Structure 1
């Protein structure tokens, strides 16, 4: 899973809470660019791995998938991915990035990739 996030900062320091008064924050912010956040999670095992990268590219995506399969789950025969429907997130990217033997080995360990809907969340089955 990946999320493109804005890197924001407060334009002015918030005024802390006082008794019977909430904290006061200005809605103005300073924009420091964007980044891509890759999150791999196995909720029932209580496991997650987060990786932040400055850009979203095919090479970054395939390296994250390779690391998931070869480093975090080396003995798991099949991994199911739920991902956004982005132009970088495809099995074809594996074959563009790696030698055919490596791409095929990784491809065989990936179960059907489930794409998240453009608007909304994935229904639980």
Structure 2
């Protein structure tokens, strides 16, 4: 009997929005950025946020034993949620994360200020992020004194990914790793989640886990040639 190569229990999801001139413009800016040589004065950093749901067990799970996997009861308890803000520097393996109770302009401004303190020698931080309503300079001015806010606007240079194109943000690779190592587990409290997440982040930071982006704007022009042509011919 031939081995069945189909694996219906495994699947991957992705989403790509309608390819417009704005989509291509943002995509090419990000791809250009990823292809630049390393420059400590202008570090490229990828940032995003991830909601984390706090889940507890109703029934005590059966602990993992040698040769056996941990067993959880299907029922669970909801304990609210929190959010993980995460930034990585792909070319150096440097990373910074912080867990907050909620996602507002205040948390974004606080995170970016702390991130800026890690790059005091950099002229400007080139930040890749999505176009969420909190991801802009107004967050600084609404939560800080004007001079401090202005300083951050001069420190950060924003590069926005296209709508529905999170695959262009390398921090998603980091979220995937964190999910496999801890975030997919049932964690009942923000304190425990923060402890576990920070331990994984520290381990990956100590190991300097880096990312090498392969997809270039030339690849995009080749693969999306039809879309490029359609946009060019529009009046």
TM-score, length-scaled by structure 2? 0.46
Deviation at 1:87, TM superposition (A): 2.0
Q: Which has the higher helix share?
A: 2
In the alignment, structure 1 residue 121 sits paired with structure 2 residue 162: no
Q: Whole-Å Cα distance in 2 between the matches of residues 41 and 65 of structure 1? A: 13
Deviations 1:47-76 (A, max 9, x none): 21111111111111111111111x211111
Distance 1:85 1:5, change over 3 A: farther
Q: Deviations along 1:32-51, whole A, 9 cap, x unmatched?
A: 11101111211322221111
Q: Distance in 2 between matches of 1:95 and 1:19?
A: 55
- Structure 1: runs of 5 or more not aligned: none
Q: How far, CA to CA, are the matches of 2:71 and 2:126 in structure 1? A: 44
59, 73, 89: which one pairs with 1:12? 59
For the pair shown, the structure with the greater C-alpha radius of gyration is 2
Q: Counterpart in 2 of 1:102?
A: 148
1:62 paired residue number: 109
Relative to 1, partners in 2 of residues 1:74 and 1:116: Cα closer, same or farther, differing over 3 Å? farther
- Whether contact under 8 Å (1:36, 1:54) holds in the other structure is yes
Contact 1:83/1:116 (8 A) holds in 2: no
In structure 2, the partner of 1:27 is 74
The structure-2 alpha-carbon separation of the partners of 1:27 and 1:81, relative to structure 1 and needing over 3 Å to count, comes to farther
Gap runs ≥5 in structure 2: 1-47, 170-214, 217-235
- Conservation of the 8 A alpha-carbon contact between 1:81 and 1:113: yes
1:17 to partner: Cα distance? 5.4
Q: CA RMSD in A?
A: 2.4
Inter-partner Cα distance in structure 2 for 1:115 and 1:107:
19
* 1:92 pairs with one of 131, 138, 147: 138
Taking structure 1 as the reference length, the TM-score comes to 0.79
* Contact 1:2-1:84 at 8 Å conserved across structures: no
Larger RCO: Structure 1 or Structure 2 (Cα < 8 Å, ≥ 6 residues apart)?
2
Kindly tell me the number of residue pairs found equivalent between the two proteins. Answer: 124
DSSP 3-state at the match of 2:98: strand
